[in-house]
Every structure is written in structure tokens, then in C-alpha cells.
Amino acid sequence: MNPINKTPFTTSFAKSLLAVIISTTLVACGGSSSDKKTKIEETVTPPATTTPTTTPTTIPTEAASNDLGISAVPDELKSTYTAALKFDRYTKVDTPNGGVIHIIAQNKIMENQIVRARGILQHYLTDFPGSVYGADKSAVANKMAENGAVLLLLNGVDDGTNGGAELDGQPLYYGEMQVEGHSWYITQNYEYRDASFEEILHLVHDYGIGVDQGSEFNGALPEYQADIRAAQVTALSGKLWAWPAEQASWVAELTAENSLSQEYLASVVDSYYGLWGAFNSEFGMWGMYIAKTRDDLAIKDPQGAAIMADQFFHPYLTYNARIDESFTGNFSLIFKQSLPYTNHAQYLKDVTLTGNKDSNVVVNRFNNNITGNKGINTVIFAGQSAQYQITSENDVVKVQDLQDNRDGLNTLVAIEKLQFADSTIEVSVL
């Protein structure tokens, strides 16, 4: 038996709801169908059915799969992840030691969901130069491969009916995988909340970073895990995380299965990347974590902030976000209170527009890489055109903001227009 804790960390905290209203109860994240319950201080409308009613629009095709690094399930995995269980596609993350972290998807998972899941995993494993524990993440990636880490992308939602969830692997369901630009993401629809960061983090934590308090330590970063554990202990005892009395049975179950630190870290990381900024509550992670946003962390949970600051996790998202082909209009990488998704999108650095709709990108302070689609695409800058240096070579346009801490250096491919505060420039005339 693999010594790694194989308990499937799910988001049934939210997904098992029949109703979530003021002073009502809900099953906690990471739980099962037991009586783990907690009070929530805000109204959340639950899914009307157990099957998502809105479908991301990128339908799987064999040709596109090849282009996106997605293939059929390899022969050596087919006997376990069978067609009878509806597994039909595969991608992977290679590790420095020649190992592989497998990602296996069922037949209703959309291609952009697969690519995004792989991107988030790669993000967690991308070196963070100058950080305490993440400057070289090869040991974490290698340990994940050695420990047999597998990410399962499953149809539907976590309602107990998907047989694929019984297999070895970390489950992540269709109904909890948002894609940038899709309606679930744009509206920050918490009926289908973005659990990808949480579930993939559990995979990295269990199989790579490592979890203490077991019979042996199977990870690569015992010192970092000690810091995480210390922050979790402080948060639980200080009523910063999972504090309502109604959560006592859930906390007891997490304690018994040694998963307190994993669930706590997921709450911190979700708030760090803006996933709860649009949630109708004073608090994050379904109202069970004191910090709702990154700004909250230093004030409300300083020890949680300390395990984020220059430790392992990048301050921005390193993967290239494929904007769903259904999107049209301006996709903003700058936080705006009126745009719920920008709580999260403000941490994106690189985006690729997909499909053929005319759509645009508002850049942020990072050095952005932006790729257009088959429509007419405009990149929007904050300043006047004279405040930027613009160069064009081999169909790549570079726009350098000459003012500090505003728009950075932007590398643009397949973009038709540059919009400044005082003018719009056609890329074709550069």
C-alpha cells in the first residue's frame, strides 16, 4: 500500500449542498457524506441539479488535441483508466528525473479545462528564483513522480456517482473547473466555483511537498511543511480557520486522516490568488477562513501570509491562460470592483485568446505575453502613446511602458490594434 495519504480531497463542502443560507449548514470541503456541518454567514445559491448546465465551449477534437499536448490514454494506463469508465484523453507533466505526473481525463472534460489543469500543476512546480523553498522545485516534482501522483479529471460533479473517483488519483470534477473567459469565470459563479487550485494543490502537497505526523515523511520539503503546520495550528487555535463549533466533527475527521494542514494551506492559497474576492461574505473559503483576499492575509492571518511571502508560491500565475472562445469584449488583467473575475485575473501574466470573436485585453503591471485569436484583437494600455516604446519584428510587437509600475513590457503576437489613452494604432502600419 502506498504510504502517501490517498484520501480524496474534494470540495463537497460546497457541492453536497441542498441549500446554503444564513445560519444553515453545509458539508465541509474534503468531507464525505457524513455529518460534517458548519454555519455560513451569507446566502449562496446551490446548483439546481447535480450536473452542470453550462458547458465550456471548446469541444474535444482529435486535431486540436495534438496541438495542445493532449493524446489518447497511453496503452500502459488503459487497463486501469478504462474506456468503460469514460477515460479517453491524457496529458502529463514531465519531471527532471525522467518521471511523469499523469493527468487523465474523462470524455466530457473540455480541452481548455485539461490545458488549464496542466498549467496550474506546472505553475505550482515552476521554479521561483529567490524564494526560500521554491528556487529549485525539481525535488518536489521528482518526489511526485516517485510517489505515483495522478490527477483525474472527472465528468460531472462530486455526487458519488462517478466510478472513476474510486481509482488512485486526485479527483477534480468538470463542475469545479472554471476556464478564463467562460461564463462561470466571468461571473465568478460559486455554484461551479474554481476548485482547480485547491485540488491540484492537494496533489502537490501530499505527493511532493510532503505531510508530517505520519509514520514517515514522504515529501521533499519537511522544513516548509513544518512552517505550514505551525501556521495551521495557530489558525485553528486562534479561530482564524474552521472556527465555528458546527465544524468540530469535520475538524475531527481531518485530524484523524492527518489532512488539517492540506485543507488549511488550500484556504490560504485560494485567498492569495484572489479566488474568494468576489464571494458574498466577509471571509474566504465558504466563510471558513478569516482572510478573503491577499491584502487580508498580512492583517488577519500573518502566519499564513508568512508561508506565502517569497517561500514557494509565485506572486503571479505563471501559466498561459487560454481565454474561452465564447468570450467577447475586454478581458481585464487589472482589478476592477465592478468585474468579479478580476479578483483572480489580476494575478495573470500571460493570456491567449481563442476562437474567432473580436476580443481585447487590458494589460496589468506584469510583463505580459498576449496572443490573439482569429478575430480582431486590441491590447489596451493605460497611458498615452508617447509614453511607450513600440517595436515590431518578425510579426512580434513589443510595447514597453516608459513609466514605472504601470504596464510593463508587453510581447504581442497576432494582435491587430494597440489602444492608448489618446489614440489607437493599427499594428499593420508599424
**28-56 b/e (C-beta count within 10 Å ≥ 16 → b):** bbbbeeeebbbebeeebebbeeeebeeeb
The torsion angles phi and psi of 321, rounded to 5 degrees, stand at: -80, 125
Count the domains in the chain.
2
Q: Which residue is associated with the grid cell 492608448?
A: 420
Does residue 256 share a domain with residue 143? Answer: yes
**Model confidence pLDDT, tens digit, residues 164-184:** 999 999 999 999 999 999 999
The reply to whether 1 falls in a domain is no
What band does 66 get if pLDDT is binned at 50, 70 and 90? low
The reply to whether 407 falls in a domain is yes
Structure confidence at residue 41 (pLDDT)? 30
- As a whole number, mean pLDDT of residues 17-34 equals 30
Nearest to 7 by CA among 192, 212, 171, 214: 171
The reply to whether 411 falls in a domain is yes
Does residue 114 share a domain with residue 35? Answer: yes
Does residue 261 share a domain with residue 208? Answer: yes
Question: Does residue 98 come out as left (phi exceeding 0), alpha (psi in the -120 to 50 range) or beta?
Answer: left
Does residue 351 share a domain with residue 275? Answer: no
Report the Cα 59 to chain-centroid distance in Å.
21
Nearest to 396 by CA among 386, 410, 376: 410
Final residue belonging to a domain, choices 306, 325, 358: 306
The reply to whether 2 falls in a domain is no
Report the Cα 313 to chain-centroid distance in Å.
12
Does residue 177 share a domain with residue 94? Answer: yes
| Of the listed ranges 31-35, 98-102, 214-218, 333-337, the one predicted with least confidence | 31-35
Residue 34 confidence (pLDDT) above 60: no
Structure confidence at residue 46 (pLDDT)? 28
The reply to whether 367 falls in a domain is yes
- Strands (DSSP E) along 268-347, which ranges? 317-323, 329-332
| Of the listed ranges 21-35, 200-214, 324-338, 357-371, the one predicted with least confidence | 21-35
Does residue 230 share a domain with residue 187? Answer: yes
pTM of the predicted structure, to 2 decimals: 0.87
Does residue 70 share a domain with residue 212? Answer: yes
Q: Name the percent of the chain lying above pLDDT 70.
A: 85
Final residue belonging to a domain, choices 279, 306, 333: 306
Domain that holds residue 355: 317-429
| Of the listed ranges 63-67, 364-368, 406-410, the one predicted with least confidence | 63-67
| Of the listed ranges 52-66, 225-239, 329-343, 385-399, the one predicted with least confidence | 52-66
Distance CA 130, CA 80 (A): 41
Residue 6 confidence (pLDDT) above 50: no
- As a whole number, mean pLDDT of residues 101-121 equals 98
Distance CA 104, CA 335 (A): 34
Distance CA 348, CA 317 (A): 5
Does residue 363 share a domain with residue 257? Answer: no
| Of the listed ranges 47-51, 139-143, 376-380, 401-405, the one predicted with least confidence | 47-51
Does residue 214 share a domain with residue 79? Answer: yes
Final residue belonging to a domain, choices 251, 286, 306: 306
The reply to whether 59 falls in a domain is yes
Nearest to 311 by CA among 223, 229, 393: 223
Does residue 214 share a domain with residue 154? Answer: yes
Structure confidence at residue 245 (pLDDT)? 87
Residue 412 confidence (pLDDT) above 90: yes
Does residue 297 share a domain with residue 260? Answer: yes
Q: Name 207's Cβ contacts closer than 8 Å, sequence gap at least 6.
A: 4, 143, 144, 147, 148, 149, 218, 219
The reply to whether 5 falls in a domain is no
Does residue 391 share a domain with residue 289? Answer: no
The reply to whether 252 falls in a domain is yes
Mean pLDDT for all residues in the chain: 88
Structure confidence at residue 397 (pLDDT)? 98
